[in-house]
Chains A and B, each alone.
Chain A
Amino acid sequence: MGADVPVHGSAQVAQKPLPSGVAPRSKAGLTWWQRVGEPALVVLCVIGAWELLTRTGVLPAKDLPPATVIGAAFIGDIQQSRVWEALGATLTSWAVGLAGSILVGIPAGLLLGSSQLAYRLFQPSLEFVRTIPSIAALPLLILLLGTRGYQLAAAMTFLGAVWPIMIQTMYGVRDVDPTTMDAGRAYGLGPFQLFIRIVLPSAFPYIATGLRLGAVVGLLLSVAASLIAGGTGIGFLIVNASFSGVPELVYARIVLTGIVGLGVTLTLVAIESRLLFWHASRRRTVT
């Protein structure tokens, strides 16, 4: 399935449609310190090194402000309402775009996965379209939607998220275990019952992966939209800080965006873990 690995645009989202690629391995067996403490320590070391290198002048402090300066800018910035408004605008666009990509991507993926004909007809075009970086659509979308409202970033989110969601769903449906299907058929399940009771739950781990990938790519593109085209999002505030010649604010806002992205990922992983407790990658009790 090498060539079928869903890869989208510049984001290089490569997730093998295999159970092992569905989600991070179960963290069973690791202590809290090993899971959270040690990685956090690494982050602290990097911040410390950054601080040291910029303070001692090894790195130019003018373009690369020391960590403590960025930290101070960060604290100051998040006390202002405007950064929250911008973040709200970005997240609103993202939520709208993501909802749209779910509404389109999942049904389309289900259709492409269940119909051999649909798969044969659309798969080549799909492979082509998904290799075009979504960002390339930006100039066209600016003309169509303008830069003022939430629509541009929402459309960008949609373009980024719809492919991973659609493609993962498609592979999820195509990868349903034939023995499981035979078991369902042998016990008299009709096509609808098979779909509801076997195909959907089997494909769910793949769909969840698609959603997680789509959500993150969508967020990147939602930020990128306002970064390039302006408007009300957090991307515009990053550019704005740059134009105002306040590099520490640029970094502070990038960090904030990163934290939001991390929050989105962690939330989705947590939801996935709860819903996919039965999946091989997450089981804790195997005797």
Chain B
Amino acid sequence: MSERRDPIAPAGGDVANAPVLEVRNLGVTYGSGSDAVVAIRELSFSIAPGEFVCIVGPSGCGKTTLLKSIAGLLRPTRGDAYVAGKRVDGPPKDLALVFQEYTRSLLPWLTVGDNVTFPLAARKVPKSEQLARRKAALAQVGLPGFDDKYPWQLSGGMQQRVAIARALAYEPAVLLMDEPFASLDAQSRADLEDLVLKVQRDTGLTVVFVTHDIDESVYEADRVIVLTQRPTAIRQILAVDLPKPRDQITTKALPEFVRLRTEVLKLIKNEPTVD
């Protein structure tokens, strides 16, 4: 593949309808010869600006491999990912990543404030702008004034908020989240699900959210991409037309929510759907 711009994205000017994230014929094989393991057979999908897309699949289905390929941390064996029209070849500037393991993705020797700004400092963003972005981001995640605390002085939910603030301060076009709430308690999890929905609504950010929690995927998403077992391919893409803003109690009680979650569950369990 050449380094030129994605031919599908319009050249300059009007990019409103161009996908902000596109995955084209992407495949990943680990090892070679007889030891080769095909983690991802082939995946193609595209995500429009401002969309909230959840990716679900059975455990061990290569969700993290896909995510690493999009984040430029892993070179796919076949095909490509495009972020904001540019082929991913190393970590894209327009993409921020939130990890499941917040304790390991935050730097314990830095304060909350410095954790939020270190990517900006490395990018040589002017100090005053760093501070402004940090203030705004920490306020957005509900941690205003926590700048001088250390991450390990905070609860798990709060630490993940810091990681989200770091991603927001980076001002990406795409926010990629890798099972971000999987290690949190139920209450923090619900709070953070709502927080991410609110932030997405306020900022119009594109969110790609990998999860193994089916309820979570339906609750959060505009579309749910259901993956198959290894070697991974797309099982089905479901549109979620639940009313917004969503609510942990009323949304989850809607017949449509129940229908969708059942459908996703059946897809993952590889049973035919009843239509």
Give me the interface of A with B, judged by CB distance under 8 Å.
177, 179-180, 182-183, 185-190, 193, 197-198, 201, 204, 278-280, 283, 285-287
Contacts and interface: CB of A to CB of B under 8 A. Distances in A.
B101 A179 contact: yes
| Candidate in A186, A278, A285, A287 with the most chain B CB atoms within 10 angstroms | A186
B109 A183 contact: no
Contact of B122 (A177, A187, A283, A286): A187
B120 to A, nearest CB: 9
B50 interface: no
17 contacts: A182-B73, A182-B105, A183-B97, A183-B99, A186-B71, A186-B73, A186-B91, A186-B96, A187-B119, A190-B122, A193-B122, A197-B118, A280-B152, A283-B152, A285-B152, A285-B153, A286-B152
Nearest to A196: B122
A219 B97 CA distance: 48
B108 A278 contact: yes
Contact of A201 (B97, B107, B153): B107
Nearest to A178: B104
B93 interface: yes
Contact of B104 (A179, A186, A189): A179
A286 B153 contact: yes
Given A188-B122, A188-B123, A189-B119, A183 B105 contact: yes
Given A186-B96, A188-B123, A287-B153, A279 B73 contact: no
* A-B complex: 3 closest residue pairs judged by Cβ atoms: A187-B119, A179-B104, A183-B105
Contacts of A180: 104-105, 107
A175 to B, nearest CB: 12
B59 interface: no
A278 B109 CA distance: 5
Contact of A278 (B97, B104, B123, B152): B152
A173 to B, nearest CB: 16
Contact of A188 (B105, B108, B119, B153): B119
A177 B152 contact: no
B46 interface: no
Contacts of A279: 108
Contacts of A197: 107, 118, 122
B153 A179 contact: no
B182 interface: no
B15 interface: no
B133 to A, nearest CB: 13
Interface of B: 68, 71-73, 91, 93, 95-97, 99, 101, 104-109, 118-119, 122-123, 150, 152-155, 166, 170
A185 B107 contact: no
Contacts, number: 67
A162 B153 CA distance: 36
Nearest to A275: B109
| Candidate in A204, A278, A283 with the most chain B CB atoms within 10 angstroms | A278
B105 A278 contact: no
Given A179-B99, A180-B107, A201-B107, A185 B153 contact: no
Given A179-B105, A285-B153, A287-B154, 6 more contacts: A177-B104, A183-B104, A185-B91, A187-B97, A188-B91, A188-B93
Nearest to B97: A186
Given A180-B104, A287-B154, A201 B170 contact: no
Contacts of A193: 122
Contact of B109 (A185, A201, A285, A287): A201
A278 B119 contact: no
A22 to B, nearest CB: 13
A19 B41 CA distance: 40
Contacts of B153: 285-287
B207 to A, nearest CB: 16
Given A198-B107, A278-B108, A186 B122 contact: no
A182 to B, nearest CB: 6
B124 to A, nearest CB: 10
A201 B155 CA distance: 23
B72 A186 contact: yes
| Candidate in B97, B109, B154 with the most chain A CB atoms within 10 angstroms | B109
A43 to B, nearest CB: 36
A203 to B, nearest CB: 11
A182 B122 contact: no
A198 B106 CA distance: 10
B227 to A, nearest CB: 21
| Candidate in A179, A182, A187 with the most chain B CB atoms within 10 angstroms | A187
A187 B91 contact: yes
Contacts of B73: 182, 185-186
A195 to B, nearest CB: 12
Nearest to A187: B119
A187 B99 contact: no
